[in-house]
């Protein structure tokens, strides 16, 4: 793979950069830059801007409303988006369900659901994990029993990110108990307004109710909301997870985090010298930067292979491990760089419209919440321990 950008790719990057400079609201970029919490309205506003530009799902085929972006264009877009301090694209519809429907959904499902992902008619969340089925996802017990033209769903999902905002959930459910556990799982699309669904937010250690428990009590789901074949959901789940794990690598987020870390480290400390002049600290930053450069190259290779029709394999697990650890290290170093201002955690100061003042300079307010929030990176999408097992079985 040629790692030098062509003139066309550089022109694409410049066009994206110019668009963000013109169309990204300063109110949103300021919130992202300062680590303020984004509301549902904030996400929907940015979603609508990108959709109007035609860039919300740039890597989708043009036949489905995308731009047929290649791996490099997607990388450049994500890099410029984090560089501009734009809100992330909520991934559940665009980056997770969309590719599954395009690969395995019926023509009717594609025609109905894909446009609704793009225009914001539906906000999707993911129903995979359960209290007893996280990394061991095949042990899930949420059941879906066929009753005429419907499935009747009972059970519970856990750690449902942004489920409090969602209008739809794509769920793994058990439709058979014979054979291996993986052989009895199906992939269902469920309306969150259905009778029998109860969403209970979970308050995280950083003070934000980002994840939820979702309970299903005799929830009726039309049979036409089954994606693909009954009992074949494990195949679709693995397809989705390989894409999710590649995304979890978060190259653009790590790049933005590293640049922020460098900016803070160059500021004069109380003693008068910037932290970047400390040889030990500078060496740790250098190690992170070297690892990030290597991960960026690997990520481009994996995404390029996927774009060429090759399904990501153990490489996505490698990226998931390295990307999660790298982002955690960057946030840990950032906390070190802001010094004593990282100690106070004032969640109220991060809320929109709050009059509570943060302690210390603006750049320090988000250091601890970001550090705490990214602890989960090595767990979700399949824990890093599970990913190491996948690598060992596949390659060693």
Active-site residue set: 244
Tokens in use for 27? 């109110």
Cα(290)–Cα(218) distance, rounded to whole angstroms? 52
Cα(365)–Cα(349) distance, rounded to whole angstroms? 8
Cα(188)–Cα(35) distance, rounded to whole angstroms? 35
CA dihedral 79, 85, 87, 92 (to 10 degrees): 20
> How many C-beta neighbours within 10 Å does residue 353 have?
5
Backbone angles phi, psi at 125, to 5 degrees: -130, 170
* Burial of 303: CB neighbours in 10 Å, binned 0-12, 13-18, 19+: buried
Tokens in use for 64? 């489905």
Cα(239)–Cα(316) distance, rounded to whole angstroms? 11
Reference 44, options 129, 167, 151, 136; nearest CA is: 167
- 3-state DSSP helix/strand/coil percent for the chain, to nearest 5? 55, 15, 30
Q: Are 247 and 319 in contact (CB under 8 A)?
A: no
Cα(1)–Cα(311) distance, rounded to whole angstroms? 17
First vs last Cα of the chain: how many Å apart?
25
274: helix, strand or coil: strand
Strands (E), the chain: 124-127, 143-147, 150-157, 168-174, 185-191, 197-202, 211-222, 226-227
Cα(255)–Cα(228) distance, rounded to whole angstroms? 38
């Amino acid at each position: 793979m040629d790692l030098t950008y062509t003139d066309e790719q550089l022109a694409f990057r410049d066009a994206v950069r110019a668009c963000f400079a013109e169309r990204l609201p300063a109110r949103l970029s300021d919130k992202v830059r300062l680590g303020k919490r984004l509301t549902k309205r904030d996400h929907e506003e940015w979603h609508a801007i990108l959709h109007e530009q035609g860039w919300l799902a740039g890597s989708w085929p043009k036949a489905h409303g995308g731009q047929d972006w290649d791996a490099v264009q997607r990388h450049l877009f994500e890099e410029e988006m984090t560089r501009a301090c734009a809100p992330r694209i909520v991934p559940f519809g665009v980056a997770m369900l969309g590719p599954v429907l395009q690969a395995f959904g019926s023509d009717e499902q594609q025609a109905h659901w894909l446009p609704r992902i793009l225009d914001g008619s539906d906000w999707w969340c993911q129903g995979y994990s359960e209290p007893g089925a996280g990394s061991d996802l095949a042990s899930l017990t949420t059941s879906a029993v066929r009753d005429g033209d419907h499935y009747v769903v009972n059970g519970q999902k856990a750690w449902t990110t942004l489920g409090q905002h969602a209008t739809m959930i794509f769920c793994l459910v058990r439709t058979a108990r014979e054979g291996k556990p993986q052989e009895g799982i199906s992939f269902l699309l469920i309306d969150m307004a259905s009778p029998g669904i109860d969403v209970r937010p979970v308050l995280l250690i950083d003070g934000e109710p980002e994840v939820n428990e979702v309970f299903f009590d005799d929830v009726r789901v039309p049979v036409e909301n089954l994606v693909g074949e009954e009992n074949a959901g494990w195949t679709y789940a693995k397809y989705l997870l390989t894409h999710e794990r590649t995304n979890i690598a978060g190259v653009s987020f790590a790049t933005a985090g590293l640049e922020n870390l460098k900016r803070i480290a160059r500021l004069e400390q109380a003693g008068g010298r910037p932290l970047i002049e400390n040889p030990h600290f500078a060496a740790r930053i250098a190690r992170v930067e070297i690892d990030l450069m290597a991960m960026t190259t690997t990520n481009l290779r994996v995404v390029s292979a996927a774009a060429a029709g090759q399904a990501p394999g153990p490489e996505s697990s490698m990226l998931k491990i390295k990307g999660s650890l790298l982002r955690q290290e960057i946030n840990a170093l950032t906390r070190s760089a802001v010094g004593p201002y990282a100690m106070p955690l004032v969640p109220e100061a991060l809320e929109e419209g709050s009059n509570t003042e943060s302690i210390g300079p603006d750049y320090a307010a988000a250091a601890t919440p970001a550090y705490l929030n990214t602890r989960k990176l090595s767990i979700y999408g399949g824990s890093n321990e599970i990913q190491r097992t996948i690598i060992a079985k596949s390659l060693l």
